[in-house]
Amino acid sequence: SNGKQTQINGNPVNFETAPIIWGETGINGQHAFFQLLHQGTHISPIDLIASLESRGSLPGHHEILLANVFAQAEAFMRGKTADEVREELTVQGMKGEALEALVPHKVFAGNRPTNTLLMSYLDPRNLGSLIAAYEHKIFVQGVIWGINSFDQWGVELGKQLAKTIHAELTGKLKSAQHDSSTRRLIQLYRQANKSK
């Protein structure tokens, strides 16, 4: 909602608004996108969310998950220096050119901003509170940045184009003016659905 290029007063926004929000549960996220967050070229603030109590039935599983949450928060903060990497690799028996070639790949800058949000356990009430906190954050950011968090002009063009494309996909309109990429997507849909 805060992805805007124009402030309420009509002036262009000359700063970044609206971080891209995505997520994943537990250890899956580590393998899916934490590499980008730890060593990528764009620093992204991160919220790590966990519950202190488990409602699950796997003994010890919750502690493994929490250990990873806390460890990732520490890793984002601390990072790992080239000297630390060299020491670690030396202990593992590496040396010389092979060691030095690996060092830059294992260095983490650290100082990646994170919040660790903890709740007692995940239930409808706590989930609702979490959603409400994020909704309030969006509103407050909009006020501070002078943007309207509630308009959706950026979505409008896609909706307008979708009406025409829907008419083409359902056979109510033979064809309309589109770029070559969109024409090809429509053609592929029609070919796949000829017999229907």
**Sorting pLDDT into bands at 50, 70 and 90, what band is 196?**
low
Long-range Cβ contact pairs of 69-73 (< 8 A, separation 24 or more): 69/26, 69/116, 70/116, 72/30, 72/34, 72/48, 72/114, 73/48, 73/114, 73/116
Q: State whether 143 and 169 are in the same domain.
A: no
Among 54, 65, 61, 59, CA closest to 27? 65
**What is the predicted pLDDT for the residue at 22?**
82
Q: State whether 83 and 177 are in the same domain.
A: no
pLDDT single digits (tens) 124-163: 999 999 999 999 999 999 999 999 999 888 889 999 999 9
**Could you give the percent of the chain with pLDDT greater than 90?**
75
Q: Can you give the pTM of this predicted structure?
A: 0.79
User: Which residues constitute the domain of residue 176?
Assistant: 152-196
pLDDT, averaged across the chain = 92
The 3 state secondary structure assigned to 117-156 is EEECCCCHHHHHHHHHHHHHHHHHHHHHHCCCCCCCHHHH
* Residues in CB range of 18: below 8 A, 6 or more apart: 1, 2, 3, 4, 141
Q: State whether 40 and 114 are in the same domain.
A: yes
User: Which CATH number goes with the domain that contains 73?
Assistant: 3.40.50.10490
Q: State whether 134 and 185 are in the same domain.
A: no
Q: State whether 45 and 110 are in the same domain.
A: yes
The domain total for the chain is 2
Q: State whether 25 and 59 are in the same domain.
A: yes
Check: CB of residue 108 under 8 Å from CB of residue 38.
Answer: yes
**Sorting pLDDT into bands at 50, 70 and 90, what band is 184?**
very high
Q: State whether 112 and 193 are in the same domain.
A: no
Average pLDDT over every residue of 24-39: 85
* Residues in CB range of 66: below 8 A, 6 or more apart: 50, 52
Q: Which two tokens stand for residue 42?
A: 């764009």
